[in-house]
Structure 1
Amino acid sequence: MSEIKNLTLHHYPLSRSARVKWLLHEMRGEDFEVHRVALRQGGQYTPEYLAKNPNHAVPVLEVTYADGSEQVIFESMAILTWLADLDDRFAPKPSDLKARADYLQILALGGSWMDQMLWNIRLHENILPKAARNAAFAQFNRDKIENEITPQLVARLSENAFICGETFTAADCLTGQNLNWARAYGLCANPVLKDYMKRMKSRPAFQLAFADAKDFEG
């Protein structure tokens, strides 16, 4: 990663940015900067922040390259994929076609399908005004996680220590963060998933990434 001079993560505790923070700790220890975005106070809607991410969300990763050029990356799945490709400890190489396809599939499952179900639950149980909430829709998403997503994850983790096999990858950061989120709603309580989360939570990088969980304002 010698071509990277500095990385700054725009982050909020227990949000999707935690999955990126986790991978950064795995890769770089504490050699990156973190900027706390005050989501509950509307910090994501300031003109300065919207210039970085017009979707007014975290994470945002600001990259300063060794040549002095800069880049802004948003969307957690994109950031995870990009970061992991900088260090082949955290992703199968593109030349390993089968492993790469499996890894990308799991990233997409977690970053789109499961993530959206969890977000729908959060919207309709916690965020929207009560008059706009739809309990049936929240339950529909709960059922999909329990009946469709959980069996897929259990099947994988019954055979392997990590979500893509016997090696930790960026896909574990996404899967682990999603499971942490799901378990807060009483979902994904299968013993196989509990054991997986014990292994993830024992990792020093996980502990650093979620050390600020107490600061979450629901």
Structure 2
Amino acid sequence: MIDTTAFPITARWPTNDPSVIQLYSYPTPNGVKISIALEEMGLPYEPHLVTLSDADVKSPAFLSLNPNNKIPAIIDPNGPDGPIGLFESGAILLYLAEKSGKFLGKTASDKAKITQWLMFQMGGLGPMLGQMGFFYKFAGADIEDPRPRERYLNEAIRLLAVLDGQLEGKDWIAGGFSIADMAIAPWINALEFYGTKDVVGYHDLKNVPAYVERFFARPAVQKAKFIPNPNG
């Protein structure tokens, strides 16, 4: 069970069932990684909508769980040494995979390869596509200097080519379906939201489009992609 005094976030986002994992999130690429993982793994959880507004992510309640003021974050009341709070989507994915015994491969070598592709997303694909989106869809689009936009566009194209090559002859990025796919596919799907599929040559890629379609056809992914529901 969750001691509410140890986790002040529960005062602002009260728990209905403190015996299950508490998810604090919003359905962005980073957020849905965790709802997808929880659904795929069959772990009971309770979602709480945390908007991206400063009023939520920079509130003392949320900062008490994640001092880096980013979604997602979780509390697991049944952690290995008692209740545990975690932030950073990659760290949460690794934790949940180890907890459930699923989607982290069968051997130590499998785990290492899956982890390397998870880190590829965390350190490369996510940050670069996010920055590209900023310069194409959001405030960065008003900047006249083309160099920042070109930098992130070119890096996005390069990273997508890396993925396309890795997926040759494979359904999933590291062999079997894994937490690496849960991290990568939502970020590729963000190209639609950013309106950048054409500029990155998405439709010219040989393997990536079918990979994303295959991923989002999974029933657990379909259910999880709008959890927490931003529309209430």
Q: Give the TM-score of the pair, scaled to structure 2.
A: 0.79
* Structure 1 contact 125–138 (Cα < 8 Å) conserved: yes
Aligned match for 2:223, one of 200, 208, 212: 208
Q: Does 1:157 align with 2:157?
A: no
Identity %: 22
Give the root-mean-square deviation of aligned CA atoms: 2.7
Q: Deviations over 1:46-80 (max 9, x none)?
A: 11111111111100011101799321100001001
After the TM superposition, which segments of 4 or more aligned residues of structure 1 sit over 6 Å from their partners?
Answer: 129-133
Number of residues of Structure 1 aligned to a counterpart in Structure 2: 208
Structure 2: gaps spanning 5 or more residues: 1-17
How much does 1:191 deviate?
4.0
Aligned residue type for 1:160: K
The aligned runs of 1:75-154 (5 Å cut-off) are 75-93=88-106, 96-128=107-139, 135-146=146-157, 148-154=158-164
Work out the CA distance in 2 between the residues paired with 1:179 and 1:145.
10
Q: Which residue of 2 aligns with 1:54?
A: 67
Work out the CA distance in 2 between the residues paired with 1:72 and 1:213.
18
* Structure 1 contact 106–171 (Cα < 8 Å) conserved: yes
* Structure 2 contact 50–57 (Cα < 8 Å) conserved: yes
Aligned residue type for 2:188: L
CA 62–44 in structure 1, closer or farther in 2 if over 3 Å, else same: same
How much does 1:156 deviate?
1.8
Structure 1: gaps spanning 5 or more residues: none
How much does 1:39 deviate?
1.5
Work out the CA distance in 2 between the residues paired with 1:124 and 1:68.
44
The aligned runs of 1:58-73 (5 Å cut-off) are 58-65=71-78, 69-73=82-86
Q: Give the TM-score of the pair, scaled to structure 1.
A: 0.84
CA 170–138 in structure 1, closer or farther in 2 if over 3 Å, else same: same
Aligned match for 2:37, one of 3, 6, 23: 23
SS at match of 1:159: coil
